[in-house]
Amino acid sequence: MLKSILLTALTLVIALGGGAGSVWLMIEEVPDFGAMTIGEWSVNPTEGTPQADPYAKARFAREGELSLGIAEGAQFIASRDATGQPLRGACDYVVTGSVPASRFWTLHAVQPGAANPPRAVQSLALLRASSGSFSIALSRHPAPGNWLQIDATGPYRLVLAVYDTPTVSSADLAGITLPRIVRERCNG
Amino acid sequence: MGSLLRAILVGLVGAGIVHALVLLLIPYVTAADVWARLERRAAFYEVVRIDPASGGNMLHLPDPLFEAAACRIDLSEGIVHLQADGEVPYWSMSIYDQSGQNIFSINDRTSNEGRLDFLVATSAQLTELRNSQAEDLGTAVFVETEVQEGIVVVRAFVPDPTFEPTVSRYLAGLDCSLR
């Protein structure tokens, strides 16, 4: 009698604990497997749409936020530089390269615990070389040329938002090139 | 020993079932749900700002150079007319279902002369409207959705701070009403 109660209890603990725990693990710890990685950047074209996978849907529902629609634009997120090191406010970086065809794009940093509202640079007000190429300095200290001010020394993520772009369906995303994030120097 | 093994096996199968159930239920039971947050801030057809500057951000990775406004609509009450006057450098509009999933989006290039002028209707309402043909519908663009209740979000670009008053006025003047 006692044995069967214990076995039933064990079964229930495995079922409920294992089931709920594995969902939590998948949502909180496992990287978004619906996302595509392009260089340093990742993008999930189905995020926030009915086509997203169940894990992305659950994660998104918990965040409770509204994502950009396909006709609006696409957001690419980077949390590491070109060598794979995490982006940190203590380091200076330079972003160079090309951005997919679009009407315009913006670049801003998401920094947990930043004191000031985030700043952003946008493509319509960018200093460019005569060839049309650009470079943006990411630093806590003023830099000549295009400068995106970073607030604190901690880790941050970069968001490249590309608006009114034809390259949003996942078939098109595979062939695009995105800017590189190159570390210059670190202070601390 | 055999019964212990059986208990573990049944437990693992049960874990699989619980996993699937919890996963599929999460979108329906979350408290931080956008619809509920918007409901607390505004009635149906009432336009509110939802960008970080408004104090109640509801956007995923909000762009500092954008402002956004939203209203909740209920198509079971009738066709919804969305309209804004004035000009801004760039606007885009999305319709979300109750669980916050993006089901329709459009930007100023794909609309008629860059004007924000839409009639949102279900396919049944659209068929009815086409058959009646009596009313003057103006130049509004029809948007067909399958959901009854939804959230409409209009985002507008602020290239630099001098555009801020224009864009704010544009979003404040957004009209979201039953026609």
Q: Using an 8 Å Cβ cutoff, are A66 and B59 in contact?
A: yes
Residue among A9, A21, A20 at smallest CA distance from B7? A9
CB contact, 8 Å: B145 with chain A? no
Q: Using an 8 Å Cβ cutoff, are A140 and A109 in contact?
A: no
C-alpha B166: how far from chain center: 23
For CA atoms A172, A47, A70, A163, the dihedral sign is negative
Same domain? B133 vs B111: yes
Residue A168's pLDDT band, with cuts at 50, 70 and 90, is low
CB contact, 8 Å: A79 with chain B? no
Asked if residue A119 has pLDDT above 70, the reply is: yes
Cα distances (Å, whole numbers) of residue A58 to A32, A124, A128: 11, 36, 42
**What's the domain count of chain B?**
2
Same domain? B106 vs B166: yes
How far apart CA B173 and CA B117 sit, in angstroms, is 13
* SS3 assignment, position A178: coil
Same domain? B150 vs B97: yes
Instruction: Please report where in the chains the tokens 């993008």 appear, as a residue.
Output: A43
From B111, which residue of chain A is nearest by alpha-carbon distance? A71
Same domain? B20 vs B96: no
Instruction: Express each pLDDT in B125-168 by its tens digit.
Output: 888 887 876 666 677 888 899 889 999 999 999 999 999 999 99
The answer to whether the Cβ–Cβ distance between A61 and B26 falls below 8 Å is yes
CATH code of the domain containing B126: 2.60.40
Which helix (H) or strand (E) covers residue A16, if one does? helix A2-28
Q: Which domain holds residue B123?
A: 34-178
Which helix (H) or strand (E) covers residue B170, if one does? helix B164-172
Helical packing angle, A54-63 and B2-29, nearest 10°: 50
Cα distances (Å, whole numbers) of residue A100 to A128, A162, A178: 16, 8, 7
Same domain? B85 vs B115: yes
User: In sequence order, what are the residues at sequence separation of 6 or more whose Cβ sits closer than 8 angstroms to the Cβ of residue B174?
Assistant: B47, B69, B71, B82, B83, B84, B116, B154
Q: What is the DSSP letter of A155?
A: B
* SS3 assignment, position A162: strand
Same domain? B62 vs B130: yes
Same domain? B13 vs B75: no
Which two structure tokens, joined as six digits, stand for A17? 């604990």
Same domain? B132 vs B65: yes
Same domain? B39 vs B23: no
Picking from A19, A60, A117, the nearest residue to B18 by CB comes out as A19
Pick from A4, A68, A105 the residue to mutate for testing the B interface (most B CBs within 10 Å): A68
Task: Count other Cβ atoms within 10 Å, centred on residue A103.
Answer: 17
Same domain? B12 vs B25: yes
How far apart CA B106 and CA B152 sit, in angstroms, is 11
* Window 98-117 of A, Cβ < 8 Å to B: 103-104, 106, 108, 110, 117
Asked if residue A52 has pLDDT above 90, the reply is: no
Q: What backbone torsions phi and psi does residue A5 show, to the nearest 5 degrees?
A: -65, -45
The interface predicted TM-score (ipTM) is: 0.84
The answer to whether the Cβ–Cβ distance between B26 and A23 falls below 8 Å is yes
Minimal CA separation from B128 to chain A, in Å:
27
CATH (residue range A37-45+68-186):
2.60.120.600
Strand partners, A80: A86
Same domain? B10 vs B89: no
Cα distances (Å, whole numbers) of residue B136 to B117, B128, B133, B177: 14, 14, 8, 17
Instruction: Express each pLDDT in B65-113 by its tens digit.
Output: 999 999 999 999 999 999 998 889 999 999 998 888 899 999 888 777 7
Instruction: Please report where in the chains the tokens 């608006």 appear, as a residue.
Output: A163
* Window 41-60 of A, Cβ < 8 Å to B: 47-50, 52, 54-55, 57-58, 60
Least confident range from A169-183, B9-23, B129-143: namely: B129-143
Q: What is the mean pLDDT of chain A?
A: 87
The answer to whether the Cβ–Cβ distance between B151 and A11 falls below 8 Å is no
In this prediction, residue B100 carries a pLDDT of 85
* SS3 assignment, position B171: helix
Task: Count other Cβ atoms within 10 Å, centred on residue A29.
Answer: 7
In this prediction, residue A95 carries a pLDDT of 95
CB contact, 8 Å: B114 with chain A? no
Which two structure tokens, joined as six digits, stand for A125? 């007000």
* SS3 assignment, position A163: strand
How far apart CA B93 and CA B104 sit, in angstroms, is 8
